A and B are shown apart, each in its own frame.
Chain A
Amino acid sequence: MLDTLLLSRIQFAANISFHILFPTITIALAWFLAFFKLKYDLTGHPVWLRAYRFWVKIFALSFALGVVSGITMSFQFGTNWPGFMEKVGNIAGPLLGYEVLTAFFMEATFLGIMLFGMKRVPPKIHTLATFLVAIGTTLSAFWILSLNSWMQTPTGFELRDGIVYPTDWFEVIFNPSFGYRFFHMLLASALTASFLIAGVSAYRMLKNDEKHAPKKALTVALTVAALLTPIQAFVGDLHGLNTLKHQPQKIAAMEGVWETEKGAPLLLFAIPNEEERRNDFAIGIPNMASFILTHDVNGEIKGLNEFKGEHPPVKPVFFGFRIMVGMGMLMILVAFVTRFTLWKKGELPKWQLKALVAMTFSGWIATLAGWYVTEIGRQPYIVSGILRVEDAVTTIASENVLFTLIGYLTIYAILLYAYIRTLFHTASKSVEVEEYDMKEFAEEVTRV
């Protein structure tokens, strides 16, 4: 029989993995929408309104899924992880409180106006509402990543009788890993949304959608992707250096380094063997890991054996990291090739459109893999060095947790399937929609 601890961990992981898919889309998609709407206001060109109207539907759907799965999270803390609030509630509470107050209400209220209010408010107010939704989603990311980063690299507090008390809120919020994680996540969202827009637009074009809106959206999305993929690689690298400084055991697991060594190799492939504490089938580039992490080919990397009993399970962190980096590389390649072709030829050949469709959810894979690295990499702690996972879990009977876990997994599987089906259904339905009035377009086109 599985125990309550393991089941609660699986349940939390399932909930948060499902949840993060949707904010990852909506954080940046809101800014894309704000851009489309602003462009429409400034140029009056109907193509921007078309793009807005199509993507606002996807936004509404993604947002609803994010909201309902997010509500689940707020209950889970109490039901399954009572020790978390007991020990670190004085920090976690206010940060989550600020998220609800400053972000959730703003997003949810202005979303109503953004979705259904275009005819009811002046254009400027509608554009403002769109911007406020975008600001709301970003603020929400700000607070939740601040809390998550604090759990990774806690500062600005003191411990009295095992309970955490805040001493300096600035240090709590802007803890050492926060800035890196926040920008890494914002960029992840931007890339996830870019590849989603590019993939769905390419899908429409493959279905012989000759209208201007999907082409325009595709161009914007690929431009953003080509600009931001290399920046993401750079920020990710900085984030890694920050982790090396504050959580060396996580880096050791990511790189599969067991013994502290100088000139550690960059392992391209290996199977970490935790029983014998070594890697099987290792293929690597000599000295490369040391060079990347310390900028010195003979730099020292601390090994997992220095953290016995205090380091995360190695396999998921090791493979998660490789999936994230591998997907990131592929995204750079695809973004560069397609944007370059578009620039040179003004359109994309079929195989490139197909490649973009295949990459529609590449952002999800990279983002999830990245989160698995950082969250599993924090184990066995829920808050680094302060609170172990097993000390925070509930005493609820394991059968109850098993029952709810099965329920959640079933619902999430159905919803994910329905979401993807509906996404492409909405795309094919829009293929049949008429292009806007061409006469109007002819007049407007001179202004673009």
Chain B
Amino acid sequence: MFNPEYLSLIYAGLMALAVLVYAILDGYDLGVGMMIPLDDKETADTMIASIGPFWDANETWLVLAVGLAFIAFPQAHSMILQALYIPVVFLLFGLIMRGVAFDFRAKARVKRQRRWDKVFKFGSLLTSFAQGYMLGLYVIGFDNTPLAHAFAVFSGIGVVCAYGLIGSAWLIMKCEGQLQQDAISWCKKFARVAFVGVLLVSIINPAINEWIYERWFDLPMALVVLPAPIICLSLFVILELVLQKLPKSPDNGAWLPFLISAFIFVLCFFGLVYSFYPFVVPGKLTIFEAVADASALTFLLYGVVIVVPTLIAYTLFSYRVFWGKVQPLSYY
């Protein structure tokens, strides 16, 4: 049986990994979902075809993240979810709507199909916004003040833009022709808004939280961690340069915006985790206090060690199968 302290770290690490992978993977398919046009079936079909084989597995990372919180830090799981009861329900309604609309839009009677497109688009938007709203409330420790909710709305818009960014970057990589050109200009817009968002959070967060300031600016750790926000902001600049060039030579480095966006996600997520560690509920509960029984977690860890590498392997396999530019979805 493992020492509870190691188990706290291992499971917190796994949970963080699951959240990060979820944000990147479901981030791009939610982003694509909220950008589908309602008046152009063909383009909508192509966009949805680009995420068709993946969205189900992408969403499973959310189940894993929530599941790990539930298993390893049960007290945190119920504290967080009870505090976020109403936004969680909106998140779930959003997930339900887009999940089913994906199938109904192709299979329902023709006159109903466009209605399901609306459901798909709105569901993707609602899901993204609810996630950002929840993140905002989480970050400020579930305060129930008008200011806190205003901040949560701001955070919701931030996550919508972040998913829009990585979603349009995905389309640049997977699509061709006019759609690809459109995606480049969408990507530019989202990147600029996201840049302002990241910049604001990077300034405001240490300015209003003394302990976050200390964490980031106290030597010697500052030397190691301060480059992260600097690199992150520089990545936005590089992204802008890449996006300036792409319209003329879309075959050269169409995968770059997605890679850069994914790195931006990684760095932002690192910033978040580093600011709050070791708290799992900010200011209230640390991972060491919240950790579940060691024997139960040890039992599950055997499975994790065997299964996680396997699932990463077959996830990569699936991405390889559907590599390259998108083709129409068919069951053939």
Instruction: Give A contacts to B, CB under 8 Å.
Output: 53, 56-57, 60-61, 63-65, 67-72, 74-75, 77-79, 82, 85-86, 89-91, 93-94, 96-98, 100-102, 104-106, 108-113, 115-121, 163, 165-166, 169, 394-396, 400, 403-404, 407, 411, 415, 418, 421-422, 425-426
Contacts and interface: CB of A to CB of B under 8 A. Distances in A.
Contact of A97 (B67, B75, B315): B67
A377 B96 CA distance: 30
A102 B57 contact: no
Contacts of B75: 86
Contact of B322 (A85, A105, A106, A120): A120
Given A112-B53, A112-B56, A64 B102 contact: yes
B85 A108 contact: no
Contacts of A67: 56, 59, 99
A439 B6 CA distance: 67
B88 A75 contact: yes
A2 B311 CA distance: 45
Given A97-B303, A102-B303, A109 B82 contact: no
Interface string B319-332: 00110000001111
B234 interface: no
B25 to A, nearest CB: 11
Given A113-B53, A396-B82, 12 more contacts: A60-B103, A67-B56, A68-B96, A78-B66, A93-B71, A108-B60, A113-B321, A118-B331, A163-B293, A169-B299, A411-B97, A426-B107
Contacts of A89: 70-71, 74, 292, 296
25 contacts: A61-B107, A64-B103, A71-B95, A74-B66, A78-B77, A78-B78, A85-B78, A89-B70, A90-B295, A90-B296, A94-B299, A97-B67, A101-B64, A102-B307, A104-B64, A105-B311, A108-B60, A112-B318, A113-B321, A116-B330, A117-B322, A120-B321, A169-B299, A404-B89, A422-B104
Contacts of B93: 407, 411
B192 to A, nearest CB: 33
Interface in B298-316: 299-300, 303-304, 307-308, 311, 314-315
B248 interface: no
Interface string B287-299: 0000011011101
Nearest to A426: B107
Nearest to A89: B74
Given A75-B88, A82-B82, A98-B300, A109 B315 contact: yes
Main SS of chain A's interface residues?
helix
Given A75-B81, A90-B292, A96 B54 contact: no
B315 A105 contact: yes
B50 to A, nearest CB: 11
B167 to A, nearest CB: 18
A38 B193 CA distance: 52
A64 B99 contact: yes
Contacts of A72: 92, 96
Contact of B80 (A78, A90, A115, A169): A78
A109 B304 contact: no
Contacts of A109: 56-57, 311, 314-315, 318
A96 B332 CA distance: 34
Which of A94, A102, A111, A113 lies at the interface centre, i.e. has the most chain B CB atoms within 10 A of its CB? A94
Contacts of B97: 411
Contacts of A111: 56-57
Contacts of A94: 71, 296-297, 299-300, 303
Contacts of B329: 116
Contacts of B237: none
A97 B318 contact: no
Contacts of A105: 57, 60, 64, 307, 311, 314-315
Nearest to B88: A75
Given A64-B102, A75-B66, A112-B52, A96 B331 contact: no
Contacts of B81: 75, 78-79
A116 B319 CA distance: 12
A155 B42 CA distance: 57
Contacts of A418: 100, 104, 108
B215 to A, nearest CB: 28
Contacts of B99: 64-65, 67-68
Nearest to A405: B89
Contacts of B74: 85-86, 89, 93
Contacts of A166: 293, 295-296, 299
Nearest to B308: A101
Interface in B6-62: 52-54, 56-57, 59-60, 62
B190 to A, nearest CB: 26
B150 interface: no
Given A85-B78, A101-B311, A117-B322, A400 B107 contact: no
A117 B104 contact: no
Contacts of B77: 77-78, 85
A337 B62 CA distance: 47
B102 to A, nearest CB: 6
Contacts of A78: 66, 69-70, 77-78, 80-82
B284 interface: no
B71 A97 contact: yes
B230 interface: no
B59 A77 contact: no
Contacts of B62: 71
Contacts of A57: 107, 331
Contact of A407 (B60, B89, B108, B318): B89
A400 B86 contact: yes
A113 B319 CA distance: 10
Contacts of B89: 404, 407
A68 B53 contact: no
A68 B74 CA distance: 22
Give 6 nearest A-B pairs by CB, closest first. Answer: A112-B53, A82-B78, A93-B71, A78-B81, A68-B99, A85-B74
Nearest to A105: B311
A97 B300 contact: yes
Given A64-B103, A79-B88, A74 B67 contact: yes
A401 B77 CA distance: 18
Contacts of B54: 112
B330 A108 contact: no
B292 A116 contact: no
Nearest to A99: B67
Nearest to A112: B53
A106 B92 CA distance: 23
B292 A77 contact: no
